[in-house]
Amino acid sequence: MGRIITFGEILLCLSAPGAARLKQSKILEIDFGGAEANVAVSLAQFEEEVSFVSRLPENDMSAQAKMSLKSFGVDVKPILKGGNRMGLYYYENGAVYRSGKVIYDRDFSSMATIAPGMVDWDKVFEGADWFHWTGISPALSESAYYTTLEALKEAKFRGITISGDYNYRSNLWNWGKGHTEVMPELLQYCDIMSGIHPDVDIVKEGLSDALFEQAGEEMLGQYPNCKMVVFTSRGSVSASHNLWSGALYDGGKVYRSKQYNLTHIVDRVGTGDAFMAGLIYGLRNLKDKQEAVEFATASSALKHFIPGDQNICTIEEVHKLVYEDQRGLISR
């Protein structure tokens, strides 16, 4: 099997420890996040060969970011050096009625100032057969949007499978155009995409296959190249207690995962990325779409109990949750 390429921004994540608030904390814990980097890290834990394409300035913080990616086994050679600053965000974990909080400080970052022509796509895509991107990259800046478009064209031209995650962030998209103007053009390159979730109250109402079929059909109608639409369904009882399941529609059938009852959430950030990584792994390695969606959902369920942005669980741990033990027995 070939190499997987993800493209996007990696951010310095500075979090208040435990239940502390950003306003009161005197130390911040360092982690690194960003949707596409998270997908790359999780795939590397699943023993895929993954390269991450991005742009970073040269200083000790970006050095630590690359060291972190390398430690997880992600190839960082395609990361361009340049620009003046590394994007970052401050993070405060929520608890029950107190919402979690992300404060972005990513304007003017090295990745926001990436431009078409900078990346050597021939070299990046050598040996690759899968490309993953998200709606965050075109939201950063006009030049980042054009570079995303360039990447998609280059991937499509080489016959590489493309997965995309809509990942709408309302506080980005400040460079002139809105997501509804830009995303449709980009999404038409996708083979697999995340779908817009049916608007239901998951905690109170049920979810039916029909809902997903309808939502999926709409997407497939709009994007004829697309073969599959995936959905994650989160029901929020509180910041500490969610319901979580996944679904996949392939134009023919709806594949639904088990629903997980996430009762004492440790860290919600990166769970959508964990799902996408699990799905990509599943579609490439498991025997069918049902197994893939179960793997993706279990993998992202586990991420809720791992601090930090990245899902560092292994194939064995995910399989154990799907097939063996949902009771969290101590392994010794």
Footprint of a copy of itself on 303-322 (CB under 8 A)? 304-308, 312-313, 317, 320-321
User: For a copy of itself, which is the closer residue by CB, 43 or 162?
Assistant: 43
User: For a copy of itself, which is the closer residue by CB, 17 or 117?
Assistant: 17
Footprint of a copy of itself on 201-230 (CB under 8 A)? none
Q: Which among 118, 116, 124 is positioned nearest to 52, based on CA atoms?
A: 124
Least spacing, CB of residue 217 vs a copy of itself, in Å? 28
Encoding tokens for residue 255? 């594949």
Least spacing, CB of residue 270 vs a copy of itself, in Å? 11
Q: Of 115, 196, 200, 239, which lies in the binding site for a copy of itself, with binding defined by CB under 8 A?
A: 239
User: For a copy of itself, which is the closer residue by CB, 158 or 234?
Assistant: 234
Interface with a copy of itself by CB under 8 A: which range of 126-134, 191-199, 287-295, 323-331?
323-331
Count of alpha carbons within 13 Å of 264, Cβ hemisphere only? 1
User: For a copy of itself, which is the closer residue by CB, 152 or 207?
Assistant: 207
Q: What type of residue sits at position 91?
A: Y
Footprint of a copy of itself on 59-118 (CB under 8 A)? 59-61, 63-64, 67-68, 70-73, 84-86, 90, 92, 94-105, 107-108
d(Cα 305, Cα 301) in Å, to the nearest integer?
8
Encoding tokens for residue 46? 């699943």
Least spacing, CB of residue 181 vs a copy of itself, in Å? 22
Q: Are the beta carbons of 97 and 237 closer than 8 angstroms?
A: no
Q: Of 178, 263, 288, 323, which lies in the binding site for a copy of itself, with binding defined by CB under 8 A?
A: 263
Least spacing, CB of residue 70 vs a copy of itself, in Å? 5
User: For a copy of itself, which is the closer residue by CB, 101 or 156?
Assistant: 101
Q: Phi then psi for 52, rounded to 5 degrees? A: -115, 125
Q: Are the beta carbons of 312 and 47 closer than 8 angstroms?
A: no
Q: Phi then psi for 203, rounded to 5 degrees? A: -65, -40
Footprint of a copy of itself on 7-26 (CB under 8 A)? 14, 18-26
Cα angle 193, 194, 199 (rounded to 5 degrees) comes to 145
- Please report where in the chains the tokens 């050096």 appear, as a residue: 81
Footprint of a copy of itself on 153-212 (CB under 8 A)? 169, 171
User: For a copy of itself, which is the closer residue by CB, 222 or 261?
Assistant: 261
User: For a copy of itself, which is the closer residue by CB, 287 or 327?
Assistant: 327
Q: Are the beta carbons of 256 and 293 closer than 8 angstroms?
A: yes
How many residues sit close enough to a copy of itself to count as binding (CB under 8 A)?
Answer: 80
Q: Are the beta carbons of 161 and 129 closer than 8 angstroms?
A: yes
User: For a copy of itself, which is the closer residue by CB, 158 or 169?
Assistant: 169
Residue 268 near a copy of itself by CB under 8 A? yes
Encoding tokens for residue 13? 């994540």
User: For a copy of itself, which is the closer residue by CB, 180 or 331?
Assistant: 331
d(Cα 142, Cα 147) in Å, to the nearest integer?
9
Least spacing, CB of residue 120 vs a copy of itself, in Å? 21
Q: Which among 154, 162, 222, 157 is positioned nearest to 189, based on CA atoms?
A: 162
Neighbouring CB atoms inside 10 A of 210's CB total 10
Phi-psi category of 99—alpha, beta or left, where left has phi over 0 and alpha has psi -120 to 50? beta
d(Cα 141, Cα 139) in Å, to the nearest integer?
6
Footprint of a copy of itself on 287-306 (CB under 8 A)? 301-302, 304-306
